[in-house]
Amino acid sequence: MLSTFLRRSSFHKPKLNIARFFSNKQGFDSLVLGAYSEPSCQLTTQHISNTTKKLLEDQLKSSNFKKANDTRIFYNVGGVNQVAIVSLGKKRQNEQDSVRMATALGIQALQKQGAKYTGVDVSIDVQGAAEGAVLSQFSFEKLKKSKKEEKEECVVEPYLPEQDDEASKRWEVGQIYGASQNIARMLMTSPSNLMTPKLFAEEVAYLLAGLENIDIKVYDEDWVTRQKMNAFLSVAQGSTEPLRFLEIHYKGAKDKDEKPYGLVGKGITFDSGGISLKPSANMALMKGDMGGAATVAGALYGISKMKLPVNIVTVIPLCENMPSGNAIKPGDVIKAMNGSSIEILNTDAEGRLILADALHYVSSKYQPKSIIDLATLTGAMDVALGQVFAGVFTNRDELWEQLKKAGAAVSDPFWRMPLHKDYMRGMKESLVADLSNIGGRSGGSCSAAGFLQEFVDEKIPWAHIDIAGVMECSATEGYHIKGMSGRPTRALIELMKNQ
């Protein structure tokens, strides 16, 4: 899967094939162009003759080309076999997402028609076009006996009639952003029997192998036991699959000893709920309960490829949550790494347990500049925000503003949620322990975030991002592909780019 994205990220050797009505020195057999449908049909590209431009714009007007994302395909225009024109809607100040979506829709339409070498108009936004080009082509078919008909891979490149080094660099950046999210999609989509904790650690180590400034450490149960990570161990003990604790250091700053930023990803590779068993309906989706781990790994790939000048320490606790004779039971009490005792009232509230130890570990050992954890933590977040926003709980306004800005820049948005001590009241009323692992029914996402805050040094800026709602995309629409979403990988890269 990764090799496909990497092949797409390299530039195709240009072919000399100068067309009559298009400047087409690269020899594309197909083009994706954008056009504003309001106030009138107006092509955005400048690399086209006035005659051809007027011909196409007249055709668009005649075809009721009005709404954003409307797509029209024209054939044998100016020596180009197929030209897909996609509406950007009304002209706006920030059009990156319109370009991202239009590029994706145009490429998907052309590939259905057998396009082999497609040029994409980058007149409006180069990076957005590149992201759309890569994200729109994601598929996971390697396990199918009857794959789609084998055919020559479609190559997509920027439509640049003249040499433009800056545009080429921006295109490569967009491809890295897209490929990073596709890595997260691939990890989340893989069946849990083929993406166990051990296999996840091996896959991520393989993906990051050879990248500069990366150091990977994979720890087993003996190491976790010596660290007294009993909250993590309690979740893992119900499964026959061995746990793993993945620690990855990226040192891109000039000063390798500079304090790092911390990233923590929830890595439950399958969540049955344990003894508190989930309903069987849609339980198969719980292969994606390692979405936090997947997005953190995908972001780290992009950060390393872009050689961003920051230091990062990433920790990912990996295990399954299964029912068995060895599984932790409701009513059991365990002691976490920080010394707090926790009464288990619901074994399906397991993500916060493995994150508790991971957060204390990175917080106490590295004292990072900030810590961000990502987790498909609560169904309540899906109810609250659906598939639009990922919910952010944070102890610092500045960190929220940075996340908000990063999410908006790449159209992978966040919404701030309340972090308040009153949500913890029910969880601090246990008769036998310092904390219980669930509170009341109301405000479930808020109480879960409050639980995690107990394990982070209050002096450290921290944000918890609950991605349960955005874990899955329910339908394919342009660069949004049905299935596991890989969000918010691009927003994490953007955040670190701005540090």
Q: What is the DSSP string of 290-333?
A: THHHHHHHHHHHHHHHTT-S-EEEEEEEEEEE--STTS--TT-E
Q: 């972001």: which residue's tokens?
A: 299
Residue of 72, 170, 185, 352 with catalytic role: 352
Instruction: Give the integer Cα–Cα distance in Å for 235 and 344.
Output: 10
Q: 449 with 362: CB under 8 angstroms?
A: no
Q: 298 with 249: CB under 8 angstroms?
A: no
Instruction: Give the integer Cα–Cα distance in Å for 229 and 424.
Output: 22
Instruction: Give the integer Cα–Cα distance in Å for 354 and 19.
Output: 60
Beta strands in 91-211 (DSSP E): 117-121, 155-159
Instruction: Give the integer Cα–Cα distance in Å for 311 and 24.
Output: 43
Peptide bond into 309 cis (omega under 30): no
Instruction: Give the integer Cα–Cα distance in Å for 184 and 296.
Output: 8
CA dihedral sign of residues 210, 249, 302, 455: positive
Instruction: Give the integer Cα–Cα distance in Å for 267 and 244.
Output: 9
Q: Give me 437's structure tokens.
A: 């692992």
Distances (CA, A) of 416 to 35, 376, 464: 35, 16, 10
Selection from 93, 94, 78 nearest residue 33 by Cα = 78
Q: 């989706």: which residue's tokens?
A: 285
Q: 133 with 108: CB under 8 angstroms?
A: no
Residue of 278, 335, 428, 497 with catalytic role: 278
Instruction: Give the integer Cα–Cα distance in Å for 245 and 228.
Output: 13
Instruction: Give the integer Cα–Cα distance in Å for 238 and 242.
Output: 10
Q: Give me 197's structure tokens.
A: 């904790």
Catalytic residue at 369? no
Peptide bond into 279 cis (omega under 30): no
Catalytic residue at 416? no
Q: Which residues are catalytic?
A: 278, 352
